[in-house]
Amino acid sequence: MTEHPKVKDYMTQEVDTVSPDNDVKDVINLINKTGHQGFPVVEEGRVIGYISAPALLEKGTTVKISEVMSQDILVADMDMDMSDVARVLFRSGKSKLPVVDKNGNLQGIITNTDVIRSQIEKTSPQKVWTLKKTLEAIHNIHLNVIREPVNIGELVPTQSKVYADELDGRIYELKKGLAEPIVVIKKPGKVLLVDGHHRVIAAKKLGIKSMDAYVIPLGNEIKLGMEKTANSAGLYTLSDIKILDYAKHPLIQVTKRLKKNDENGMVGINQ
């Protein structure tokens, strides 16, 4: 299947930044020049804070940015899925995230607009047909799609995590009878869950035993990359899926500027 779009594919690499030694007047001039309402604060290449237009209100023009910037900020990793960026931006109420490497060095910036662009560029709205065509092309075979109920207790997941906030929405949909069918690949002795992990976990929480599904039958002679990946990740039953809060995503970090007397002189990244 097509790899999920990543931050590195959509981020803007040229970023307007300010120094902690700049003053309020400098940032006001930059706002007027660029039209942006906020900027990463960067020192020796590392993101140490963020300054936004509201933080400048009622501040003297000669006040240093180091005195008014926010030092606890959300940042993104270049290999983060754009779907996860969308979740973080939505849940946090922010419009952009600085993108940093493992050392806290600024690599770019990712915005709401980039998230929208990544979604618009998806070529197929129906994942089951995309999956079918992909498998047919890779393995040079013809496949059928069957619509039938499946026992969720038999499903083998191919995704290691789901998010608590999205589960709430899926539980609501199931209670109202609004959930879409899940997508599975059915092999002899194994049913792989391809799409619908949140829906399935929500169903499990509600005590639902079976779900409507698009089923693609496949023989054991066809070796699937997703199957190998699931085995490597220790995914064998739905109980192996972890339920995470969005803020605990491993690629979302809160950056904090360390005190000047820190012996390493480095910007810390709390994971």
Confidence class for position 119, pLDDT limits 50, 70, 90 = low
Does the residue 228 lie in any domain? yes
The encoded tokens of residue 228 equal 């190998």
More confident call, 121 vs 203? 203
- Residue 217 pLDDT > 90, yes or no? yes
Report field, pTM of the whole predicted structure over 0.75? no
253 near 269, Cβ under 8 Å? yes
pLDDT of 39 = 95
What is the pLDDT, as a whole number, of residue 107? Answer: 95
The count of domains in the chain is 2
Partners of residue 255 on adjacent β-strands: 73, 269
Query: 253 and 160: one domain?
Result: no
Whether the predicted pLDDT of 2 surpasses 50: no
For residues 263 and 21, the model is more confident at 21
Q: What pLDDT, on the 0 to 100 scale, is given for residue 128? A: 83
Q: Residue 185 belongs to a domain with what CATH number?
A: 3.90.1530.10
Tell whether 229 and 256 lie within a shared domain: no
pLDDT at position 236, please? 94
**Residues 162 and 80 grouped into a single domain:** no
Show the domain range for 85.
7-120+249-270
Of 46-60, 83-97, 244-258, the poorest mean pLDDT is in 244-258
